[in-house]
């Protein structure tokens, strides 16, 4: 698995989990959804994402 595919998988899982938690546990979990969205937005402009660095250190190929 490449870093890009793993990043999309993790981001999608985080968004899905935070929306479900917001719906069924507490609405404040929507803030986590917003955080993931803002991070994806900034990475589109800066081409830098902290999760990508973590995935590369974990040994995924670029």
pLDDT tens digits, one per residue of 10-56? 999 999 999 999 999 999 999 999 999 999 999 999 999 999 999 99
Count of domains observed in the chain? 1
Domain-embedded: residue 42: yes
How many CA atoms does the CB half-sphere of 31 hold within 13 Å?
4
Residue 16 confidence (pLDDT) = 98
Domain-embedded: residue 62: no
Domain-embedded: residue 48: yes
Residue 24 confidence (pLDDT) = 98
For residue 50, what are the domain limits? 3-57
pLDDT higher than threshold 90 for residue 62: no
Burial-class residue 28 by CB neighbours within 10 Å (0-12, 13-18, 19+).
exposed
Q: Which residues contact 6 (CB under 8 A, 6 or more apart)?
A: 55, 60
Burial-class residue 29 by CB neighbours within 10 Å (0-12, 13-18, 19+).
middle
Residue 20 confidence (pLDDT) = 98
With cut-offs at 50, 70 and 90, classify the pLDDT of residue 58: very high
């Amino acid at each position: 698995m490449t870093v890009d595919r793993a990043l999309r998988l993790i981001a999608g899982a985080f968004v899905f989990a935070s929306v479900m938690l917001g719906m069924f546990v507490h609405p404040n979990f929507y803030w986590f959804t917003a955080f993931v969205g803002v991070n994806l937005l900034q990475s589109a402009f800066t081409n830098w994402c902290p999760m990508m660095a973590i995935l590369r250190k974990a040994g995924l190929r670029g």
